[in-house]
């Protein structure tokens, strides 16, 4: 795995973390009232960004 692949993976991991944090905060502020809509919006954004549910860990040497 090259350096650019690692950087891309790290950026995707960070984007996923931010997306999850925003979803959590919105659901907390709204009392989960709009959880389905928030989840749908999160999935749409993650699809546009190319973010997947898997994490990109560096291989152990």
pTM equals 0.71
pLDDT at residue 57 is higher than 70: no
Instruction: Tell me how crowded residue 1 is: count the other CB atoms within 10 A of its CB.
Output: 10
- DSSP codes joined into one string, the chain: --HHHHHHHHHHHHHHHHHHHHHHHHHHHHTTTTHHHHHHHHHHHHHHHT--SS--PPPP-
pLDDT score recorded for residue 18:
92
The encoded tokens of residue 61 equal 């040497």
Spatial CA neighbour of 25 closest among 42, 3, 9, 5: 42
What confidence tens digit (pLDDT) does each residue in 5-49 have?
A: 889 889 889 989 999 999 999 999 999 999 999 999 999 998 988
């Amino acid at each position: 795995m090259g350096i650019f692949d690692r950087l891309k993976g790290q950026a995707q991991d960070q984007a996923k973390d931010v997306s999850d944090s925003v979803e959590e905060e919105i659901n907390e502020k709204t009392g989960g009232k709009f959880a389905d809509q928030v989840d749908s919006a999160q999935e749409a954004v993650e699809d546009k960004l190319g973010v997947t549910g898997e994490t990109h860990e560096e291989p152990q040497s």
